[in-house]
Amino acid sequence: MADEALTAGQYIKHHLQNMTYGQHADGTWGLAHTVEEAKEMGFMSINVDTMFWSILLGVMFLWIFRRAAKNASVETPSGLQNFIEMVIEFIDGSVKGGFNGRNAIVAPMALTIFVWVFLINFMDLIPVDWLPGTMAWISSTFFGADPHHVYFKVVPSTDPNATFGMALAVFMMTMYYSVKIKGLKGFVGELTLHPFSSSNKLLQLVFIPINFMLEFVALIAKPLSLSLRLYGNMFAGEMIFILIAIMYGGGWALGIFGGFLQLGWAIFHILIITLQAYIFMTLTIVYMDLAYQVPDEH
């Protein structure tokens, strides 16, 4: 339930602020107590809540799959084993359908991306006040902190730092394999000799900067689209949940209406979080496939 001590605007800003650790203006290091302090910490700060939930959910993913693998049985497979096998077969089919090269890392990477992003997105289905409220209570009860200055976001994909970090990791891997498969000369040629080309050497020199500008924009657009698509969809979904939560403070009639809205949006949001994980995984497979595509002239 929305905290009645906060206005609607303050409530929204509070829930959209990360728990940020960095250097204060006086040179000391610690957690930011206000939104302004978090902004002043700059680039070298770290969003503790994003890192905490990302790592925790990553470890949970590894633990669940390891447990299913250790207890796997051909004669009497458990429900967990059947579910894991179904997910793996789905990922394997997606990789076979979208990646034409030969690389043993692509399928495990696609599986990791899909499951990890899904788990991160799934945190959006937890009521917006439960975990932040618990953290505020712990901080105020045991550490004497002002609960209004305790920030604790639980959906890492609503933090652009997380989505950009994942997209940059995929981008760097595609760059590595592009150079490895095509060679440095082939990779540079891909950026400078297409889409415009000519047998006339002088005219080709004119085309090179034009081609590079076009291809460079397309190249940079890959990590940007990958990260912003996930961030934008999840941020919008989180915002809707926050706005619905504010309705609970508007009386019992508005609260009941908000409850139905929350249930309906949560059911619909299950599709969104799954779809976003699938899109992130599919685009990663496509980008890796593009890195392995070598034109005939290369």
The reply to whether 229 belongs to the active site is: yes
Tokens (6 digits) for 159:
């933090």
User: What residues does 12 pair with on adjacent strands?
Assistant: none
**Of 18, 139, 178, 233, which one is the catalytic site residue?**
233
Question: In the chain, what's the furthest Cα-to-Cα distance?
Answer: 77
Is 223 exposed, middle or buried, given 0-12, 13-18 or 19+ CB atoms closer than 10 A? buried
Could you read off the pLDDT tens digit of each residue along the chain, which spans 298 residues?
A: 344 467 888 899 999 999 999 999 899 999 999 989 999 999 889 999 999 999 999 999 999 999 999 999 988 899 999 999 999 999 999 999 999 999 999 999 999 999 999 999 999 999 999 999 999 999 999 988 888 889 999 999 999 999 999 999 999 999 999 999 999 999 999 999 888 888 888 898 999 999 999 999 999 999 999 999 999 999 999 999 999 999 998 888 999 999 999 999 999 999 999 999 999 999 999 999 999 988 654 4
Residue 4's CB is within 10 A of a number of other CB atoms, namely 8
Q: What is the pTM of this model?
A: 0.92
Is 181 exposed, middle or buried, given 0-12, 13-18 or 19+ CB atoms closer than 10 A? middle
**Of 71, 82, 198, 225, which one is the catalytic site residue?**
225
> CA 188 to CA 180: how far, in whole Å?
12
> CA 298 to CA 295: how far, in whole Å?
6
The reply to whether 225 belongs to the active site is: yes
Calculate the alpha carbon distances from 151 to 124, 129, 230 in Å. 16, 11, 22
The reply to whether 199 belongs to the active site is: no
